[in-house]
Structure 1
């Protein structure tokens, strides 16, 4: 496993630096600096108490924590959120409560998301008159299948969605 050094400052000196729960985990845990209660369908922007200086050629991606998503319906609105190498402010997470009935209560110091640091390429966009052929072609959302509902015949009474 390779490593990259990421400079970090604590905007809130009492929060822990991000840590990996297990050796080999992809995401380091981020915590909230505030208590927050999210009613069903509501969202909130919460601080993590840290600021980063990612090296050029890297970005941080903020992902939801799978256990919180499964047990409480807690997600990250813009998952994954992107932390660019040039950003130096506090890393914040826009959380959302996807549960239809119950509030999500978070306390200061609760783990709320994961930060995955990855190498990224900078694309050079080359405009052409026509793109080369591919096996998939212009097939969009749902075109590769995998869900029975997408294969239901139109006349079966099942709603058939056309996605572009």
Structure 2
């Protein structure tokens, strides 16, 4: 399935660094760049910081959204994750996309993460959106094998 999505380049340096693109033919997400003016140091466990991506989107479809996810290598190897776990970009949001970043390393580690201008720090994936109609009921029309079993109900 292919959907045309307009991308507005807000930071002209992206023309030098490379526009957001899929890095391999089967990649699920595009990489996002840190559009900052100077290196940024993130100390462990300090408040999350918003970093501009340098792009704005116009999806123009109620059938899509975008999510911002951490880059797995930066998260696993350096401790750079998203301050909000996953960022959601609704189809009707057309301003600049920002990346909330956080240094998850223990405060006692003193492991500072330095983000360089133009560094690929997150990724954006486009997903289909399903908007079900809700029907308020007193009881569900059918049952499931699991029923109301919650945390740990199927084993640990």
Match of 2:42 in 1: 38
CA RMSD between the two structures:
1.4
Match of 2:26 in 1: 24
Question: SS of the residue aligned with 2:136?
Answer: coil
Contact 1:9 1:51 in 2 (8 A): yes
Contact 2:68 2:99 in 1 (8 A): yes
Kindly state the Cα deviation for residue 24 of structure 1 after the two structures are TM-superposed.
1.1
Equivalent residues in 2 for 1:5-16 (5 A)?
Answer: 5-15=4-14, 16=18
1:62 matched to 2:68? The reply is yes
Match of 2:84 in 1: 78
Match of 2:150 in 1: 140
Kindly state the Cα deviation for residue 79 of structure 1 after the two structures are TM-superposed.
2.6
In the alignment, structure 1 segments of 5+ residues that lack a partner are: 151-164
Q: How many residues align?
A: 145
Residues 40-80 of structure 1 deviation map (CA, whole Å, 9 limit, x = unaligned): 01221111000000131100011110000110111112232
User: Which structure is higher in RCO with an 8 Å CA cutoff and minimum separation 6?
Assistant: 2
Higher mean alpha-carbon deviation, 118-127 vs 103-112, is at 118-127
Question: SS of the residue aligned with 2:146?
Answer: coil
1:128 matched to 2:146? The reply is no
Match of 2:103 in 1: 97
Kindly state the Cα deviation for residue 19 of structure 1 after the two structures are TM-superposed.
1.0
In the alignment, structure 2 segments of 5+ residues that lack a partner are: none
Structure 1 runs (4+) greater than 3 angstroms displaced = 141-145
Contact 1:77 1:96 in 2 (8 A): yes
Contact 1:30 1:112 in 2 (8 A): yes
Contact 2:49 2:83 in 1 (8 A): no
**Structure-1-length-normalised TM-score:** 0.83
